[in-house]
Amino acid sequence: MSLLEIENLSLSIHGTDILKQVNLSVAPGQIVAVTGESGSGKSMTALAVMRLLPQGAVTDGAIRLSGSDLLNQSETDMCALRGAAIGMVFQEPMTALNPVKTIGDQVMESILIHKAMPPTRARDRAEEVLTRVGLPSDRFPLSRYPHELSGGQRQRVVIAMAIALRPKLLIADEPTTALDVTTQAQILELLRGLVTEFGMGLLMITHDLAVVADMADQIVVMRHGEVVESGATGHLLRNMQHPYTRMLFDASGHQVALPEPAQSQPLLEVTNVVRDYPLPRKSLFGSPGHYRAVDHVSFTLNRGERLGLVGESGCGKSTLTKAVLGLEEVQGGDILLDGQPVFSGHKPNLAVRRKMQVVFQDPYGSFNPRHRVARLITEPFHLLDAPPTNAERQDRIAEMLSAVGLSPDDAGKYIHEFSGGQRQRIAIARALIIRPELILFDEAVSALDVSVRAQILDLLVELCEAYDLTYLFISHDLSVVRTITDRVMVMRAGIIVEEGETESVFSDPKHQYTKDLINAAPTLPDIGRNVA
């Protein structure tokens, strides 16, 4: 008998169809992955199981947990089931955690709400499950707050909260999307171990087919609220029947061919850069220590070259990026752009700053939702001594929107009217509009679907050909870095441990850390590539 059985589930919100006749099942000890693009209905299916649907939602069909139809349960009954029989791991751990409560209190919360055990035993259970997910109390006391943990550690806390009462069913919604490859491998291994140890069923929502291929027993492919294909993982990947499944698989391994760099003249020169952060005093009269985030880093980026920077969370990538942008002053070394220092005294050099732009990871969070696109993409004009006005300004807006594959008419729209991929195109248009000499891409495609990511990579190639782009591409996605850069640097604990031509580093890594990163990255099997 199946643990979870979804039968002919349809869902509409205020009359708009969201899910259409969805069928899937999860058995005890089984991992079922639901995959598809954003808007395919994956997360809404998971929320329907939890009965956490928005107002105006109307459901039809059946969702049975151990034979009991959840759609017929009262809200009181569902409150008794959530956390106890069904646990959920949400995509973004920082928003799923309460920033003013300790991790111990948050893991204990569901235990105490369900009155499963007295407070003293609940504390022991919290220690037990946190240790089980790799956060032992001797190194991670229950008194820690979420901001004191890394992204991967926060995700472990969210998992601990979900399994505190040993639920029969665990739902994980994109549990590894924003994590680096080694942390992702650890989280996936943890989830696999929990399924084996507790015999729970795991319903995993993800758009990463490489993760799906390695992790899942069954795959369910969704598109526009419908299940277009499903089956055992190995069989489905060898015998893809639906064109959409084939498209997802091909997009996951999408490769691009960059044009050859035209010049070899140095543009960005980083020499022995050091960035320290002060640590709290350990005693009243003791001297404060320091944490070295960037440790004597040196490299050169030539004009027209595309340089990648990879490494785990906390390795110093973002700190180095802020220093290059002039957002954080360094304690040692020099950063020169086109021969001029990024810092002038203790202030950023604005003459240099206007030659750089950045594309952030979250395209929605990097825009003001109250402004129209025309204003958003012209924000960099404030860096110019004589910004374009009137017709020249409108022409520049139209040119940039067209360059990134959008319409000039989109200038009058608001950012919420666009999809995630379109927002990232607008972010690239904003970075290009003042024709910077250097663009920094900070995890610019990590939150995008595989098909949208493939489109953005194709766009970057077109822009390289049209504008001879020079960029620093920071990412934890090794497959993307491999195809979109000429050279790559590998960073660990603030130090560049390996650097070289991208293909040489990936095909013949010299440093053990580089080998570990490459081995930890999930890879697509070759089985689907030869199917006609």
**pLDDT at residue 527, as a whole number:** 59
pLDDT at 531: 40
Once rounded to an integer, what is the mean pLDDT over residues 496-516? 94
Mean pLDDT of 164-176: 89
Coil/strand/helix, residue 484: helix
496, β-bridge pairs: 491
**Cα-based torsion angle of the residue sequence 214, 217, 221, 227 in order, rounded to the nearest 10 degrees:** -170
For 435-451, the pLDDT digits (tens) are: 899 999 988 887 777 88
How far apart are the C-alpha atoms of 409 and 405, rounded to whole Å? Answer: 12
Which of 66-80, 252-266, 318-332 shows the lowest mean pLDDT across its residues? 252-266
pLDDT at 405 over 90: no
209, 450 Cβ separation under 8 angstroms:
yes
- In this structure, are residues 2 and 24 in contact, taking their beta carbons and an 8 Å threshold? no
Question: Which are the contacts of 28, defined by CB distance < 8 A and separation ≥ 6?
Answer: 3, 168, 199, 200, 201
Q: Give residue 138's pLDDT.
A: 87
Q: If you average pLDDT over residues 171-188, what whole number do you get?
A: 82
E strand or H helix that includes residue 120: helix 119-132
User: What is the model's pLDDT at position 178?
Assistant: 67
Mean pLDDT of 45-52: 93
Contact 478, 516 (CB under 8 A): no
Instruction: Domain 265-355+469-520: give its CATH code.
Output: 3.40.50.300
Alpha carbon separation from 185 to 179, 313, 340 (Å, rounded): 9, 13, 42
H or E element, residue 374: helix 373-377
| Per-residue tokens: 357 | 């732009």
pLDDT at 101: 93
**pLDDT at 92 > cutoff 80:** no
Provide the percentage of residues in the chain whose pLDDT is more than 90: 47
Whether the pLDDT of residue 264 is over 70: the answer is yes
How many Å from the N-terminal Cα to the C-terminal Cα in the chain?
Answer: 36
Average pLDDT, the chain: 88
pLDDT in tens, 201-247: 999 998 888 888 888 999 999 999 999 999 999 899 888 999 999 99
What span, in angstroms and rounded, lies between the C-alpha atoms of 5 and 73? Answer: 15
Residue partners of 463: CB distance under 8 A and separation at least 6: 403, 404, 428, 432, 469
Could you give the residue range(s) of every CATH 3.40.50.300 domain in the chain?
1-85+168-252, 265-355+469-520
Work out the average pLDDT over 116-137: 89
Residue 89 bridge partners (DSSP): 172
Q: Say what the pLDDT of residue 532 is.
A: 34
The whole-number pLDDT of residue 184 equals: 82
pLDDT of amino acid 1? 63
Class of the 1-85+168-252 domain? alpha beta
Percent of the chain at pLDDT exceeding 70: 98
Per-residue model confidence (pLDDT) at position 530? 44
pTM of the predicted model over 0.85: no
Residues 158-162 have a mean pLDDT of: 91
List of E strands, 43-126? 57-65, 68-69, 86-89
What average pLDDT does range 343-371 have in this prediction?
84
